[in-house]
Amino acid sequence: MVYRILEKEEIAPSVHRMVIDAPDVAKAAKAGQFIILRIDERGERVPLTIADFEKGTGTVTVIFQEMGKTTKQLAKLSAGDSLEDFVGPLGTPADIRKLGTVILVGGGVGVAPVYPQAKAYVNAGNKVISIIGARNKDLLILEDEMEKASSELYIATDDGSKGHHGFVTDIMKRILDSGEKVARVVIIGPPIMMKVGAGVASPYDVEILVSLNSIMVDGTGMCGGCRVTVGGETKFTCVDGPEFDARKVDFVQLMNRLAMYRGEETEATEKYEEKCRCGLH
Protein backbone atom coordinates (compact mmCIF):
# COMPACT_ATOMS: atom_id res chain seq x y z
CA MET A 1 0.00 0.00 0.00
CA VAL A 2 1.20 3.52 -0.80
CA TYR A 3 1.10 6.02 2.06
CA ARG A 4 1.05 9.36 0.29
CA ILE A 5 1.95 12.66 1.97
CA LEU A 6 -0.97 15.01 1.34
CA GLU A 7 0.28 18.04 3.26
CA LYS A 8 3.64 19.07 4.69
CA GLU A 9 4.51 22.33 6.46
CA GLU A 10 7.05 23.69 8.91
CA ILE A 11 4.99 24.99 11.84
CA ALA A 12 7.94 26.15 13.96
CA PRO A 13 11.71 26.15 13.41
CA SER A 14 12.66 22.51 12.65
CA VAL A 15 9.16 21.30 13.63
CA HIS A 16 7.04 19.85 10.85
CA ARG A 17 3.41 18.84 10.41
CA MET A 18 2.66 16.04 7.95
CA VAL A 19 -0.75 14.74 6.85
CA ILE A 20 -0.73 11.17 5.52
CA ASP A 21 -3.32 9.34 3.46
CA ALA A 22 -3.81 6.26 5.69
CA PRO A 23 -7.51 5.26 5.84
CA ASP A 24 -7.06 2.03 7.79
CA VAL A 25 -5.02 3.77 10.49
CA ALA A 26 -7.40 6.74 10.68
CA LYS A 27 -10.42 4.46 11.00
CA ALA A 28 -9.04 2.71 14.11
CA ALA A 29 -7.06 5.55 15.73
CA LYS A 30 -7.78 6.91 19.21
CA ALA A 31 -6.21 9.70 21.24
CA GLY A 32 -2.94 8.68 22.87
CA GLN A 33 -1.88 6.13 20.26
CA PHE A 34 1.08 6.23 17.89
CA ILE A 35 2.26 4.98 14.50
CA ILE A 36 5.55 3.62 13.17
CA LEU A 37 6.79 4.82 9.82
CA ARG A 38 9.66 3.99 7.49
CA ILE A 39 10.72 6.37 4.75
CA ASP A 40 12.05 3.63 2.46
CA GLU A 41 12.83 -0.10 2.56
CA ARG A 42 16.21 0.52 4.21
CA GLY A 43 14.85 3.14 6.58
CA GLU A 44 14.78 3.22 10.36
CA ARG A 45 11.51 2.46 12.14
CA VAL A 46 10.36 5.71 13.76
CA PRO A 47 7.49 5.84 16.28
CA LEU A 48 5.52 9.11 16.22
CA THR A 49 2.48 10.01 18.28
CA ILE A 50 -0.72 10.62 16.32
CA ALA A 51 -1.37 14.36 16.48
CA ASP A 52 -4.75 14.21 14.71
CA PHE A 53 -6.87 11.89 12.60
CA GLU A 54 -9.96 12.21 10.42
CA LYS A 55 -11.94 9.03 9.94
CA GLY A 56 -14.05 10.59 7.16
CA THR A 57 -11.14 11.65 4.95
CA GLY A 58 -8.86 8.79 6.01
CA THR A 59 -5.99 11.05 7.04
CA VAL A 60 -3.56 10.89 9.95
CA THR A 61 -1.46 13.85 11.09
CA VAL A 62 1.95 13.53 12.70
CA ILE A 63 4.18 16.29 14.04
CA PHE A 64 7.91 15.80 14.48
CA GLN A 65 11.03 17.76 15.31
CA GLU A 66 14.27 17.40 13.39
CA MET A 67 16.55 15.65 15.86
CA GLY A 68 18.44 12.77 14.25
CA LYS A 69 19.13 11.29 10.83
CA THR A 70 15.65 9.96 10.06
CA THR A 71 13.69 13.02 11.18
CA LYS A 72 16.04 15.25 9.16
CA GLN A 73 15.50 12.96 6.18
CA LEU A 74 11.73 12.99 6.77
CA ALA A 75 11.77 16.80 6.84
CA LYS A 76 13.08 16.86 3.26
CA LEU A 77 9.96 15.11 1.92
CA SER A 78 7.12 17.11 0.42
CA ALA A 79 3.43 16.76 -0.39
CA GLY A 80 3.10 14.15 -3.12
CA ASP A 81 5.95 11.98 -1.82
CA SER A 82 5.21 8.59 -0.27
CA LEU A 83 6.32 6.57 2.74
CA GLU A 84 7.30 2.91 2.62
CA ASP A 85 5.45 1.96 5.84
CA PHE A 86 2.91 3.66 8.08
CA VAL A 87 1.81 1.14 10.70
CA GLY A 88 -0.76 1.69 13.42
CA PRO A 89 -2.53 2.63 15.49
CA LEU A 90 -0.26 1.19 18.19
CA GLY A 91 -0.11 1.50 21.96
CA THR A 92 -2.89 1.70 24.52
CA PRO A 93 -5.35 4.56 23.90
CA ALA A 94 -5.55 7.30 26.51
CA ASP A 95 -8.08 6.66 29.26
CA ILE A 96 -10.69 9.21 28.13
CA ARG A 97 -13.92 9.38 30.10
CA LYS A 98 -16.07 11.91 31.92
CA LEU A 99 -14.21 13.00 35.06
CA GLY A 100 -15.11 16.65 35.56
CA THR A 101 -12.20 19.06 35.16
CA VAL A 102 -8.99 17.91 33.49
CA ILE A 103 -5.75 19.88 33.16
CA LEU A 104 -3.69 19.08 30.07
CA VAL A 105 -0.08 20.28 30.04
CA GLY A 106 2.02 20.22 26.87
CA GLY A 107 5.62 21.33 26.49
CA GLY A 108 7.39 21.88 23.17
CA VAL A 109 6.52 19.19 20.62
CA GLY A 110 4.58 17.49 23.45
CA VAL A 111 1.70 19.79 22.55
CA ALA A 112 1.08 17.59 19.49
CA PRO A 113 -0.10 14.50 21.42
CA VAL A 114 -1.99 16.75 23.87
CA TYR A 115 -4.19 18.13 21.07
CA PRO A 116 -6.21 14.95 20.27
CA GLN A 117 -6.62 14.36 23.99
CA ALA A 118 -8.07 17.85 24.46
CA LYS A 119 -10.68 17.16 21.78
CA ALA A 120 -11.47 13.72 23.21
CA TYR A 121 -11.84 14.92 26.82
CA VAL A 122 -14.19 17.74 25.74
CA ASN A 123 -16.25 15.30 23.66
CA ALA A 124 -16.52 13.07 26.75
CA GLY A 125 -18.12 15.96 28.65
CA ASN A 126 -15.17 17.32 30.61
CA LYS A 127 -13.99 20.86 31.29
CA VAL A 128 -10.51 20.96 29.76
CA ILE A 129 -7.96 23.48 30.99
CA SER A 130 -4.97 23.35 28.64
CA ILE A 131 -1.53 24.79 29.35
CA ILE A 132 1.03 24.86 26.55
CA GLY A 133 4.57 26.15 26.62
CA ALA A 134 7.85 26.54 24.79
CA ARG A 135 11.19 28.31 25.16
CA ASN A 136 9.85 31.30 23.19
CA LYS A 137 6.78 32.35 21.18
CA ASP A 138 8.30 31.23 17.86
CA LEU A 139 8.49 27.63 19.10
CA LEU A 140 4.86 27.43 20.22
CA ILE A 141 2.80 25.01 18.12
CA LEU A 142 -0.93 24.39 17.63
CA GLU A 143 -1.95 27.47 19.60
CA ASP A 144 -5.10 28.15 17.57
CA GLU A 145 -6.06 24.47 17.48
CA MET A 146 -5.61 24.10 21.23
CA GLU A 147 -7.68 27.22 21.90
CA LYS A 148 -10.57 25.81 19.87
CA ALA A 149 -10.27 22.36 21.47
CA SER A 150 -10.07 23.55 25.10
CA SER A 151 -12.45 25.11 27.58
CA GLU A 152 -9.59 27.38 28.72
CA LEU A 153 -6.08 27.85 27.32
CA TYR A 154 -3.01 29.25 29.06
CA ILE A 155 0.40 29.87 27.49
CA ALA A 156 3.85 30.00 29.08
CA THR A 157 7.22 30.84 27.54
CA ASP A 158 10.59 30.56 29.23
CA ASP A 159 11.63 34.02 28.00
CA GLY A 160 8.27 35.74 28.54
CA SER A 161 7.82 36.52 24.83
CA LYS A 162 4.19 35.31 25.07
CA GLY A 163 1.88 34.51 27.93
CA HIS A 164 3.26 33.72 31.37
CA HIS A 165 6.98 34.41 31.81
CA GLY A 166 8.05 31.10 33.27
CA PHE A 167 7.07 27.46 33.12
CA VAL A 168 3.85 25.58 32.39
CA THR A 169 4.11 24.07 35.87
CA ASP A 170 3.75 27.56 37.41
CA ILE A 171 0.32 27.93 35.82
CA MET A 172 -0.64 24.36 36.72
CA LYS A 173 0.20 25.01 40.39
CA ARG A 174 -1.75 28.27 40.38
CA ILE A 175 -4.86 26.45 39.12
CA LEU A 176 -4.46 23.64 41.64
CA ASP A 177 -4.06 26.25 44.42
CA SER A 178 -7.15 28.17 43.27
CA GLY A 179 -9.57 25.67 44.74
CA GLU A 180 -10.80 24.44 41.35
CA LYS A 181 -11.78 20.80 41.74
CA VAL A 182 -9.47 19.02 39.29
CA ALA A 183 -9.87 15.28 38.71
CA ARG A 184 -6.84 14.61 36.54
CA VAL A 185 -3.65 16.22 35.26
CA VAL A 186 -2.04 14.94 32.04
CA ILE A 187 1.53 16.09 31.32
CA ILE A 188 3.30 15.46 28.01
CA GLY A 189 6.65 16.90 27.01
CA PRO A 190 10.38 16.60 27.69
CA PRO A 191 11.13 14.07 30.45
CA ILE A 192 12.49 16.72 32.81
CA MET A 193 9.29 18.75 32.39
CA MET A 194 7.16 15.70 33.16
CA LYS A 195 9.31 14.88 36.19
CA VAL A 196 9.05 18.41 37.57
CA GLY A 197 5.34 18.61 36.77
CA ALA A 198 4.66 15.33 38.53
CA GLY A 199 6.54 16.60 41.57
CA VAL A 200 4.59 19.86 41.65
CA ALA A 201 1.21 18.13 41.33
CA SER A 202 1.94 15.23 43.70
CA PRO A 203 0.90 16.95 46.96
CA TYR A 204 -2.59 17.58 45.59
CA ASP A 205 -5.51 15.15 45.58
CA VAL A 206 -5.42 14.65 41.82
CA GLU A 207 -4.59 11.85 39.40
CA ILE A 208 -1.41 12.56 37.40
CA LEU A 209 -0.65 10.89 34.08
CA VAL A 210 2.39 11.25 31.81
CA SER A 211 3.01 9.96 28.29
CA LEU A 212 6.45 8.42 27.80
CA ASN A 213 6.40 8.23 24.00
CA SER A 214 9.89 9.79 23.70
CA ILE A 215 11.64 6.60 24.84
CA MET A 216 10.07 4.27 22.26
CA VAL A 217 12.37 2.58 19.72
CA ASP A 218 10.92 -0.50 18.02
CA GLY A 219 7.31 0.11 19.04
CA THR A 220 6.25 -3.54 19.31
CA GLY A 221 7.69 -4.66 22.65
CA MET A 222 10.33 -6.83 20.96
CA CYS A 223 13.50 -4.75 21.39
CA GLY A 224 13.11 -3.84 25.06
CA GLY A 225 14.57 -0.39 24.44
CA CYS A 226 11.57 1.35 25.97
CA ARG A 227 11.73 -0.37 29.36
CA VAL A 228 10.65 1.83 32.25
CA THR A 229 10.09 1.13 35.92
CA VAL A 230 6.58 2.00 37.07
CA GLY A 231 5.62 1.26 40.65
CA GLY A 232 8.67 -0.98 41.02
CA GLU A 233 7.68 -3.12 38.02
CA THR A 234 9.22 -3.20 34.55
CA LYS A 235 6.88 -1.92 31.86
CA PHE A 236 7.28 -1.56 28.10
CA THR A 237 6.19 1.89 27.02
CA CYS A 238 5.05 0.83 23.55
CA VAL A 239 2.69 -1.96 24.61
CA ASP A 240 1.89 -1.14 28.26
CA GLY A 241 1.68 2.60 27.66
CA PRO A 242 2.63 5.16 26.59
CA GLU A 243 0.49 6.63 29.40
CA PHE A 244 1.42 5.89 33.03
CA ASP A 245 0.73 7.06 36.57
CA ALA A 246 3.31 9.82 37.04
CA ARG A 247 3.70 9.20 40.77
CA LYS A 248 4.99 5.69 40.04
CA VAL A 249 7.43 6.45 37.17
CA ASP A 250 11.17 6.23 37.84
CA PHE A 251 12.12 9.40 35.94
CA VAL A 252 15.83 9.16 36.77
CA GLN A 253 16.04 5.75 35.11
CA LEU A 254 13.94 7.03 32.19
CA MET A 255 16.31 9.92 31.49
CA ASN A 256 19.37 7.71 31.82
CA ARG A 257 17.93 5.27 29.28
CA LEU A 258 17.16 8.10 26.87
CA ALA A 259 20.87 8.98 26.87
CA MET A 260 22.01 5.41 26.08
CA TYR A 261 22.02 5.72 22.30
CA ARG A 262 23.10 9.35 22.04
CA GLY A 263 26.51 8.45 20.62
CA GLU A 264 25.07 6.24 17.88
CA GLU A 265 22.40 8.82 17.06
CA THR A 266 24.99 11.58 16.75
CA GLU A 267 27.21 9.44 14.53
CA ALA A 268 24.31 8.52 12.20
CA THR A 269 23.24 12.17 11.94
CA GLU A 270 26.76 13.36 11.16
CA LYS A 271 27.18 10.73 8.42
CA TYR A 272 23.83 11.68 6.87
CA GLU A 273 24.64 15.41 6.91
CA GLU A 274 28.04 14.72 5.35
CA LYS A 275 26.35 12.79 2.51
CA CYS A 276 23.94 15.68 2.01
CA ARG A 277 26.83 18.15 1.78
CA CYS A 278 28.52 15.93 -0.78
CA GLY A 279 25.36 15.56 -2.81
CA LEU A 280 25.17 11.81 -2.24
CA HIS A 281 21.71 11.81 -0.72
- Residue 96 contacts by C-beta under 8 Å, 6 or more apart in sequence? 30, 31, 32, 117, 120, 121, 124
The packing angle between helices 191-201 and 251-258, to 10°, is 170
DSSP-derived 3-state class of residue 220: coil
Distance CA 112, CA 25 (A): 18
Nearest to 247 by CA among 231, 258, 228, 236: 231
| Radius of gyration in angstroms for the set of CA atoms belonging to the chain, rounded to a whole number | 18
* β-pairing verdict for 82-83 and 3-12: antiparallel
Contact between residue 5 and residue 79 where contact means Cβ atoms under 8 Å apart: yes
Nearest to 130 by CA among 176, 180, 172, 97: 172
**How far, in Å, are 2, 27, 54, 89, 182 from residue 23 at the CA level?**
11, 6, 9, 11, 36
226 annotated ligand binder: yes
64 annotated ligand binder: yes
Beta bridge partners of 142: none
238 annotated ligand binder: yes
DSSP character at residue 45: P
Distance CA 277, CA 218 (A): 29
Binding positions for FAD are 63-65
| Binding residue positions | 63-65, 223, 226, 238
Binding residues for [2Fe-2S] cluster, as ranges, are: 223, 226, 238
